[in-house]
Amino acid sequence: MFGNIKEILNRIAEHSEGMAELLDDIIRGLVESQNELTVEPLRTDLDGLKEQLFGKPKRILTDDIKTSIVKLTEHSNINIIPGDVPSICHPICLGKAYKKWNSKVGFTGVAEQIIAYWLQCANKNKDTLIITFAWDELDFNHKFKRKFDAQSNHKDKTVCVVLVTSQGFSIQYLR
């Protein structure tokens, strides 16, 4: 699953080293959470064995991403959307689009909030990284591509959308 990460980070770093470092930190948080797994000795009583084999939910990549981002951004100078309306604009904005495409906290809702943020923080914002769990290429091109292109047309601004699925990561937009 992490096989393409180096390539993705290198592509992003060609546009923005800070954004590549942010994504790398998020991914490192995933690796750390995987390393936190403890292996318990196999229980011999029937109820204990059933609980060990069937009772614990499997880890889900999207949940681990959320946890990694929360840990990373607790004490950092990053504007996070959705989140509080920024009173202080920072050079990096992180969008978290975790739900279905058209929901308020899915890509469509988060993208609309980020576009408003770009207007509010135009002088300070340099990089915008959006982590999404859903993608609709046709709808993106119709509703958002021109606005994303306009934002990233400035020489010192970069916008990147990374899709996270159970299969791994892919860049959907980078400019």
- Concatenated DSSP letters of 98-109: -S-TTSTTSHHH
DSSP class of 53: I
**pLDDT reported for residue 55:** 63
**pLDDT reported for residue 1:** 41
Nearest to 69 by CA among 33, 117, 105, 17: 33
Structural domain for 161, as ranges: 5-174
**How many independent structural domains does the chain possess?**
1
Proportion of the chain above pLDDT 90, given as a percent: 58
Determine the length of the chain: 175
What value does the mean pLDDT take over residues 72-98?
A: 85
What value does the mean pLDDT take over residues 106-126?
A: 96
Q: Which strands sit side by side in the sheet containing 127-132, from one edge to the other?
A: 79-81, 92-97, 127-132, 158-165, 168-174
Q: Exposed, middle or buried, 88 (CB in 10 Å: 0-12/13-18/19+)? A: exposed
DSSP class of 88: S
Residue 56 structure tokens: 């614990």
**pLDDT reported for residue 63:** 80
